Amino acid sequence: MVSPAQTEQLKSILTEQKKSIEDRFQINNSFGMEWRFPQESTSELSAYDNHPADLGTELYEREKDLALNEREKLEYSQINRALEAIQNGTYGSCEVCGDDIPNERLEAVPSTTFCIKHAPQAVSHDRPVEEGVLMPPFGKFDMDEMDEDTAYDAEDSWQDAAEHGTSNSPSDFANPKNLYGDMYIEAEEQIGYVESYENFIGNDMYGQNITVYPNERHEEYEAALDEEGIMTTFGDLHPYELDPYVEPDEKKAEKDWP
């Protein structure tokens, strides 16, 4: 049980901590929360002409200020709670079970009014309530129970958004892009198919009657093969694989195959 002398000493510490928090709130305007707009902290009249990366930095700083402000407010309320407990004569006893709080704990955390067993969790492990209605990858799911299909994930959603423009420019890439609509990572990734030729090759329901449907992708594919002097993206075909791909008069070349 905490003695009267210890109580007075801890009260002095709590009063000092309270005054320190109040001074910090006054100096930094409650971490800038009194400003109505983020650009007021940077003396900007408008954020319209700022680079998105600069706005991202300012947003990060604003979020950090929010977190620091909430932390200080929480500590301030805990100090006031402890001072009220001292005034009421209940300081040193747990609010939940009524057991005495060890002196070592009070010396380490003077603002506490709970024993270790009933202390509130410092970090919440609860997930946002919105996740209850969101589908993977943002919601809750068990990987073992998922279907073996290709889910629409966070990467796909980013690519869909990035197609409408990002802050990147051609100079931001090792291999400059030709179109501003491709100024995002993996813009060349195929959508709806895996291999490039799937965009212009088709067949019937039995896998027969392979047909080429000329389009822009087909022209790009052929140009890439011609440039490398190869028949496929994975190299030239062996003689026994040529039949489905070449014209009858070209099969004569099989005899000269090395």
> What single string gives the DSSP state of each residue in 30-81?
HHHTT-SSGGGGGT-S-STTS-HHHHHHHHHHHHHHHHHHHHHHHHHHHHHH
Positions of the chain with pLDDT under 50: 138-146, 148, 251, 254, 257
Structural domains of the chain, with CATH? 4-108 (1.20.120.910), 156-189 (no CATH), 196-256 (no CATH)
The predicted pLDDT at position 77 comes to 93
The predicted pLDDT at position 257 comes to 47
The predicted pLDDT at position 54 comes to 75
Instruction: List pLDDT tens digits, range 172-225.
Output: 777 777 777 777 777 777 777 777 778 888 888 888 888 988 888 888 888 888
CA atoms within a 13 Å half-sphere pointing along the CA-CB vector of 118: 13
The predicted pLDDT at position 39 comes to 62
The predicted pLDDT at position 64 comes to 85
- The partner residues of 212 in beta bridges, in order of sequence, read 201
- What are 127's two structure tokens? 């997930």
The predicted pLDDT at position 132 comes to 67
* Alpha-carbon dihedral 181, 187, 189, 191, rounded to 10 degrees: -40
Phi/psi at 240 (5° precision): -70, -10
Residue written as token pair 């080429």: 212
Q: Which ranges of 92-230 does DSSP label H, i.e. alpha helix?
A: 103-108, 154-162, 216-228
DSSP character for 150? -
The predicted pLDDT at position 52 comes to 77
Task: Give the pTM.
Answer: 0.46
- What are 187's two structure tokens? 């813009």
Query: What are the CA-CA distances from residue 185 to residues 41, 54, 209 (Å)?
Result: 33, 20, 37
Query: 3-class SS at 100?
Result: strand
